[in-house]
Amino acid sequence: MTRELVYTGFITLDGVVDSPGGTAEGHPGGGWVFDTDFVPEAFALKGEELAETSALLFGRRSYEAFSAFWPGSEDHADYRDLPKYVASSTLSEDAIVDNWGPTTILRSTQDIADLKQTEGGAIFIHGSADLALHLGEAGLIDRYNLLMFPYLLPGGKTIFGAGGADRRALSLRESESYSNGVLKLVYDVKPARG
């Protein structure tokens, strides 16, 4: 049995994942997560995910951003000792953070496919839009855990691409709506028809 690879993230109604925390992240319309009324139950998915996370996978830029903050964050303490994988052809071994659990650099898509064949539970991708786009198009993502926020943010990063990839069918596993307009959408990726 292969390990499940799950993308988890915040997304706008038009499919943009860019700059949910603020404009400093790059998009002038950023900050839409914190501009939404806080409803605790809308974020319950994050706790549910932690219970099934056996490892984390990041792209290089997301690894560098998260590793600068998460190791010392009490909100992310449960992630500290989890194994981490960084998909990068350029990250050097000396760039790995010491106080954030075991970390392995994966240099190719094949390395990620091979990781899925190892023993263990679900591997979650946080952030890492470019990586998620690439792995989704390569057929390696098994599930999308999305919290969709009621914003339109044209022109930002997406995890689904602008076209050119084969069509992928999804099966809705779970959904819920919240009073602040956020939707929880959990989709399994259906196997490609051969």
User: 4: which residues sit within 8 A by CB, 6+ positions away?
Assistant: 121, 122, 123, 142, 143
pLDDT tens per residue across span 53-69: 999 999 999 999 999 98
Fold of the CATH domain 5-20+29-37+53-189 = Dihydrofolate Reductase, subunit A (3.40.430)
pLDDT tens per residue across span 22-43: 888 889 898 999 999 999 999 9
Nearest to 153 by CA among 2, 1, 20, 3: 20
User: What's the mean per-residue pLDDT of the chain?
Assistant: 93
Given phi > 0 = left and psi -120 to 50 = alpha, else beta, which region is 162?
alpha
**Domain positions in the chain:** 5-20+29-37+53-189
Q: What is the pTM of this model?
A: 0.94
